[in-house]
C-alpha cells in the first residue's frame, strides 16, 4: 500500500477514464487476444485491482453509487429508472463537486447518466466547470451549460442514429449485438465527438494555476456494435473463441430464473436474442465477440490520444490515472444471455486500475487482490485531493491498509416495470460467491421471507458459475459463514448513513 511518507507533497492531477459495460477480462492483461495497449501500459505503471466489482449491474445505479460513494440501496437509486433528482437533497457531494471544492479544475467529457434531467429543466453539472456530452439536448442527459453534440454537430449525430436505427432501445436488441462495420466517420460517432472535445480542451483550456480533474467517459463498448473498420481489422476471426455454454438448457433455481418469471418483458427480450444466436453459425457468433473486443480497442485508442496530449502539456508529472468501467457484459454466456442485469461475474466484475507518476515505482506493475468496489473511488480520491474522510461512506481507501472480507453487489430487477423485483444480494470472495434472493416483487418480499433462496459457487473450480452448491450440505459451513458476513457487512454499512444522528455526532462512527 502507499506509505504516507512516499506520497508526493502536492496534490496530483487526477485523470479519470471510464467505459460503459466493459468486462473485467476485456483488457490485454487478462486476454492476450485483446488489443488495449494504453490500458496495458496503465497496468504496467500502476496497480490492477483484480477482484473489483460494481455495486449494481446496470448503468444508473452503478454510476450514482460510484459518484456519491454510497450503495444503491442507501441512495434509493436501484435501477436505470432511478436517479437523484433534487439538488438540495443530495446525500453527499458527488465526485466532481468534491474535486472542485478541493481546488481542482474540473472538466467532464461524456457519459455520467445522472438521470436528473427527468425533473429539472436545467440540471446541474454537479461540479464540472467544463462539460461536453455526446448526445442531444432532448435526450434526457443535458446538463446546464454543457456543450451538447446535438447542438453543435446535429448532422453527425443524425448520421449515427440513422446507422443504428434498427438496434432497438439502448441499442441492445439482436441487431445491436450483431452490429456492422460502421460507415460513419469516427469523429461523428458519439464517443469520437466526445474524445475530440476532450483533446481540444487539453490543447486550449487547461488552467495552469490549479491541479486538474479530467473525466473522460465513453458510451461503448456497450452495444451497438457498429465499429470502425480499422479496429475490426485488429482481430482475426479465427482467433476468436466461440461462447462457452453450460450443460443445462435453462436457468433453474437462480435469481436470474426468478427475474425471468416475474418480468415478462425480460423473458421475451432474452428469448428473442437466444433464438437468433442458436440459429447462427460459430463464425457468426464469433463476429459479435470480435466487434465487442474491437469497441474496447477503439476506446483504448482515444485514452491513448488524451494521455499523449496531457504529456505534451506536462500534465502527467505528479498524476494519478484511474481506469474503470461501470459493470460488465454477459456477451452470450448462460445460453446466449447478453447485456448485464444479473449477479454473475461477467456482469458484476469490472476492470479497475490506479496508475501514474503519483504512485511510487515500487507499486508499478503490481496486482492487488483485495476485495475492491467502485464505492472505494470517492474515499480514495478524496484523501488524495486533501479532503477530510466522510466516515458515513461504505468505501475504503484503495491505497490504505484497511480491507473488507468480501464485495457486495445488489440487483432489483431491470426496473422496466413499475414494481421492483425483491432484491438479490451478492457477497463475493476470491474463491466463493453467495447470492441470496426472494422471488416476487419488493412489495411481497416481507411475506415471502420463508421462500428465501440462494446460490453458492466455488469460483476456483467453477468460474462460469454453472454449478449451484447452495443446497449441498457438504458446503453448509461455507454458506452459513458467508451469509453471516453479508448480513453483518450490510448492518454495519446501513447504520452509518446517509443519515446519522447521535449526541457525539459523526465521531461515533470513527
Give the Cα-Cα-Cα angle 204, 209, 215 (nearest 5 degrees).
60
Q: What's the confidence (pLDDT) of residue 4? A: 40
User: Rounded to 10 degrees, what is the CA torsion of 278, 279, 282, 283?
Assistant: -140
Q: Is residue 133 part of a domain?
A: yes
How many CB atoms are closer than 10 A to CB 461?
8
Find, among 374, 370, 332, the residue nearest to 351 by Cα.
Answer: 374
Distance CA 308, CA 439 (A): 51
pLDDT less than 70: residues of the chain? 1-9, 418
Give the Cα-Cα-Cα angle 76, 82, 85 (nearest 5 degrees).
85
Which cell is 178 given?
Answer: 450483431
Which cell is 14 given?
Answer: 487526477
Q: Find out whether 105 and 211 touch, Cβ atoms under 8 Å.
A: yes
How many CB atoms are closer than 10 A to CB 503?
6
Which cell is 434 given?
Answer: 453467495
Q: What's the confidence (pLDDT) of residue 448? A: 83
Q: The domain spanning residue 197 has which CATH number? A: 3.40.720.10
Residue with cell 465521531: 507
Q: Is residue 261 part of a domain?
A: yes
Q: Is residue 323 part of a domain?
A: yes
Radius of gyration of the chain (CA): 22
Q: Is residue 357 part of a domain?
A: yes
**CA dihedral sign, ordered 121, 124, 129, 135:** negative
294 contacts: CB under 8 Å, gap ≥ 6: 225, 227, 231, 232, 234, 235
Number of domains the chain is built from: 1
Q: Is residue 445 part of a domain?
A: no
Find, among 379, 506, 347, the residue nearest to 70 by Cα.
Answer: 379
- What is the domain range of residue 74? 11-396
Q: Is residue 485 part of a domain?
A: no
At 440, give phi and psi (nearest 5°): 95, -170
Cα(first)–Cα(last) distance of the chain, in Å?
Answer: 21
Q: Is residue 428 part of a domain?
A: no
Amino acid at each position: 500500500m502507499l506509505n504516507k511518507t512516499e506520497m508526493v507533497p502536492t496534490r496530483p492531477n487526477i485523470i479519470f477514464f471510464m467505459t460503459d459495460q466493459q468486462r473485467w477480462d476485456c483488457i490485454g492483461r487478462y486476454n492476450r487476444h485483446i488489443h488495449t495497449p494504453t490500458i496495458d501500459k496503465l497496468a504496467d505503471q500502476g496497480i490492477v485491482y483484480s477482484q473489483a466489482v460494481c455495486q449494481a449491474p446496470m448503468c444508473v445505479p452503478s454510476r450514482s453509487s460510484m459518484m456519491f460513494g454510497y450503495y444503491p440501496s442507501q441512495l434509493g437509486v436501484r435501477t436505470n429508472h432511478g436517479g437523484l433528482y433534487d439538488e438540495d437533497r443530495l446525500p453527499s457531494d458527488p465526485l466532481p463537486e468534491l474535486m472542485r471544492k478541493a481546488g481542482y479544475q474540473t472538466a467532464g467529457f461524456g457519459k455520467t447518466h445522472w438521470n436528473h434531467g427527468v425533473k429539472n429543466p436545467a440540471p446541474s453539472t454537479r461540479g464540472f466547470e467544463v462539460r461536453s456530452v455526446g448526445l442531444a439536448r432532448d435526450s434526457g442527459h443535458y446538463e446546464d451549460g454543457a456543450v451538447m453534440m446535438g447542438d453543435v454537430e446535429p448532422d453527425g449525430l443524425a448520421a449515427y442514429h440513422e446507422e443504428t436505427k434498427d438496434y432497438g432501445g439502448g441499442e441492445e436488441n439482436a441487431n445491436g449485438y450483431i452490429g456492422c462495420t460502421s460507415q460513419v466517420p469516427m469523429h461523428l460517432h458519439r464517443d469520437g465527438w466526445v474524445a475530440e472535445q476532450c483533446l481540444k480542451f487539453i490543447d486550449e483550456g487547461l488552467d495552469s494555476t490549479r491541479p486538474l480533474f479530467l473525466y473522460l467517459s465513453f458510451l461503448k463498448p456497450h452495444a451497438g456494435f457498429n465499429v470502425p473498420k480499422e479496429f475490426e481489422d485488429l482481430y482475426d476471426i479465427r482467433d476468436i473463441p466461440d461462447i462457452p455454454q453450460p450443460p443445462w438448457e435453462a436457468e433453474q433455481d437462480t435469481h436470474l430464473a426468478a427475474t425471468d418469471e416475474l418480468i415478462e418483458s425480460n423473458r421475451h427480450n432474452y428469448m428473442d436474442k437466444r433464438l437468433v444466436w442458436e440459429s447462427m453459425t460459430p463464425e457468426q457468433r464469433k463476429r459479435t465477440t470480435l466487434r465487442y473486443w474491437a469497441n474496447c480497442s477503439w476506446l483504448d485508442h482515444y485514452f491513448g490520444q488524451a494521455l499523449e496530449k496531457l504529456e505534451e502539456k506536462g500534465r502527467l508529472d505528479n498524476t494519478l490515472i484511474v481506469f474503470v468501467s461501470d459493470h460488465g457484459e454477459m456477451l452470450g454466456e448462460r445460453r446466449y444471455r447478453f447485456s448485464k442485469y444479473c449477479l454473475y461475474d461477467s456482469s458484476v466484475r469490472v476492470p479497475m486500475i490506479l496508475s501514474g507518476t503519483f504512485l511510487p515505482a515500487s507499486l508499478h506493475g503490481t496486482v492487488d487482490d483485495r476485495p475492491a468496489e467502485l464505492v472505494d473511488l470517492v474515499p480514495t480520491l478524496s484523501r488524495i485531493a486533501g479532503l477530510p474522510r466522510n466516515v458515513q461512506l461504505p468505501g475504503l481507501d484503495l491505497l490504505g491498509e484497511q480491507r473488507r472480507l468480501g464485495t457486495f453487489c445488489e440487483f432489483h430487477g431491470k426496473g422496466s416495470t413499475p414494481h421492483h423485483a425483491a432484491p438479490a444480494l451478492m457477497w463475493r470472495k476470491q474463491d466463493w460467491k453467495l447470492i441470496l434472493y426472494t422471488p416476487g416483487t419488493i412489495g411481497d418480499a416481507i411475506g415471502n421471507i420463508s421462500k428465501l433462496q440462494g446460490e453458492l459457487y466455488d469460483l476456483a473450480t467453477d468460474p462460469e458459475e454453472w454449478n449451484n452448491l447452495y443446497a449441498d450440505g457438504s458446503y453448509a459451513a461455507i454458506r452459513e459463514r458467508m451469509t453471516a458476513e453479508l448480513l453483518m457487512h450490510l448492518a454495519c454499512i446501513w447504520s452509518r448513513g446517509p443519515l446519522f444522528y447521535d449526541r457525539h455526532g459523526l465521531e461515533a462512527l470513527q
